[in-house]
């Protein structure tokens, strides 16, 4: 395509090194759709005749069908998806096809193609995120009245509703969903018509192509539009944090599934065995979900480092932006295929969870706050209960075995009802502050969560309705 300037053919090794078909052929349908919008605009502005535009559009639709069926196989010597499509079009449409690239550079063409493809990927990923969030809401309501130990430093801390545990992860993934929406909004900007970096001397109608392709706006600055990859980084930011949150949830379940904890039960269909040890039931799916986090975080770092220090505007470094982008898209979609069905089958052994309350130390804060309610300063009540815990450890007693009289000898302010407060159910139920761990608060949180999810779904539905139909 640049034979007019060069007097040597490209070195074969350079051709292999610089080709990008392995990165951009998956966007062939979006590339063709962007070209169709460009052709319509050229006809509207008189830069193409209506007959020329008709021929080009007809052949583009044919090429789209052949690409979808596999009949159209790209040629590596044509370097990328854009030149493969244009070459075949010119071969078939002749002089009219040679006019396709009027007023356009591969810089703004590629930017438009990637934004179209990324928007489609995000809409697909949203379906999985929504299913995950709905599953977590269902699990929260299912286990609202199931009381399990809560942990800090992986040491028993306070009793919580298992529904509260599920809602904690719901909140994290809901934040991820909002980041996914932000990534869509960052991608929802059409750079077509910006050319190589400075726009065009031709009378292009950028608003027309933007509307045709379902973008909500067109880019404001041609240099920034060509040079920016913020929309890709915004997606990587979502993916990296999603990976972190998926890893943390997986780690929680892996730990609670161990024999030492034993109160999470995983479905056989999402576990594997051992080739040597017949008794083993391994949480391989959760481990792989945890393992994907590094890949997704690496994608974010990859994109940030690719952008660092690149001068305005386009640099060939940017070709590599798609390598980690598509890998992260595929990884997230794969994770979301297994997470909702796996979580929906997780069971909680409340009896095993209750065994974790045997020494009663998990109720220490309940005792301290009971004394506060009876007028004891918190620091003094903290010391009283700490001394009681130490005494129990030294004498082999459970904290829950202390009688009301024994408590009154330590703290005269203790009420006779104190021992009856020290049960998992009463302890969790009394944590009834907004956002707290009581079953009542869990149900209220789930209701609020469903409302927030509905509002988010409405925004995604609007974007989905505006996404343009592809030609095949």
82 belongs to the catalytic site:
no
Q: Which two tokens stand for residue 83?
A: 């030149």
Spatial separation of the C-alpha atoms in residues 108 and 117, rounded to whole Å: 14
Out of 153, 269, 275, 458, which one is annotated catalytic?
153
Spatial separation of the C-alpha atoms in residues 264 and 349, rounded to whole Å: 6
Spatial separation of the C-alpha atoms in residues 320 and 468, rounded to whole Å: 26
Classified as helix, coil or strand, 282 is strand
Out of 20, 101, 231, 274, which one is annotated catalytic?
274
Q: How many CB atoms lie within 10 A of CB 444?
A: 15
From residue 386, give the alpha-carbon distance in Å to each of 169, 369, 422.
32, 13, 16
Listed in sequence order, the residues at least 6 apart from 137 whose beta carbon sits closer than 8 Å to its beta carbon are: 166, 170, 446, 449, 450, 453
CA 111 to chain centre: 22
274 belongs to the catalytic site:
yes
> Which residues face 348 on adjacent strands?
264
Q: Is 50 exposed, middle or buried (0-12, 13-18, 19+ CB in 10 A)?
A: exposed
Which parts of 118-201 are beta strand (E)?
147-152, 155-161, 189-190
Catalytic residue positions, numbered:
153, 274
């Amino acid at each position: 395509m640049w034979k007019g300037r060069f007097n040597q053919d490209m070195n074969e090794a350079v051709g292999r090194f610089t080709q990008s078909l392995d990165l951009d052929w998956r966007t062939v349908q979006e590339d063709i759709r962007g070209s169709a919008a460009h052709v319509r605009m050229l006809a509207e502005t008189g830069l193409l005749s209506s007959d020329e535009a008709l021929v080009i559009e007809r052949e583009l639709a044919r090429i789209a069908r052949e690409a979808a069926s596999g009949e159209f196989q790209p040629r590596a010597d044509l370097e990328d998806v854009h030149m493969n499509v244009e070459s075949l079009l010119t071969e078939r449409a002749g002089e009219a096809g040679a006019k396709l690239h009027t007023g356009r550079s591969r810089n703004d063409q590629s930017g438009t193609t990637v934004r179209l493809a990324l928007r489609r990927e995000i809409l697909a990923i949203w379906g999985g995120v929504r299913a995950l969030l709905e599953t977590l809401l269902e699990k929260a309501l299912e286990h609202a009245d199931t009381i399990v130990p809560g942990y800090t430093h992986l040491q028993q801390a306070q009793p919580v509703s298992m529904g509260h545990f599920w809602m904690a992860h719901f909140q994290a993934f809901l934040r991820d969903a909002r980041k996914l929406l932000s990534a869509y909004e960052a991608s929802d900007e059409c750079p077509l018509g910006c050319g190589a970096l400075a726009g065009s001397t031709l009378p292009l109608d950028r608003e027309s192509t933007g509307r045709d392709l379902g973008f909500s706006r067109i880019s404001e600055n041609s240099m920034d539009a060509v040079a920016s990859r913020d929309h890709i980084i915004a997606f990587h930011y979502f993916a990296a944090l999603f990976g972190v949150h998926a890893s943390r949830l997986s780690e929680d379940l892996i730990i609670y599934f161990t024999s030492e904890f034993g109160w999470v039960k995983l479905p056989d269909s999402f576990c594997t065995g051992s080739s040597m040890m017949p008794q083993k039931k391994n949480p391989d799916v959760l481990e792989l979900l945890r393992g994907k986090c590094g890949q997704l975080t690496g994608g974010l770092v990859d994109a940030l480092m690719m952008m660092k220090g690149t001068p305005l505007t386009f640099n060939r470094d940017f070709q590599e932006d798609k390598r980690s982008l598509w890998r992260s898209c595929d990884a997230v979609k794969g994770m979301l295929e297994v997470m909702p069905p796996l979580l929906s089958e997780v069971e909680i052994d409340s009896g095993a969870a209750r065994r974790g309350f045997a020494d009663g130390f998990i109720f220490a804060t309940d005792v301290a706050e009971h004394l506060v309610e009876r007028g004891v300063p918190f620091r003094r009540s903290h010391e009283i209960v700490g001394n009681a815990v130490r005494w129990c450890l030294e004498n082999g007693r459970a904290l829950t075995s202390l009688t009301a009289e024994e408590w009154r000898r330590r703290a005269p302010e203790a009420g006779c009802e104190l021992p009856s407060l020290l049960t998992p159910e009463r302890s969790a139920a009394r944590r009834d502050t907004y956002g707290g761990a009581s079953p009542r608060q869990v149900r209220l949180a789930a209701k609020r969560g469903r409302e927030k999810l509905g509002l988010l779904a409405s925004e995604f539905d609007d974007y989905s309705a505006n996404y343009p139909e592809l030609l095949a």
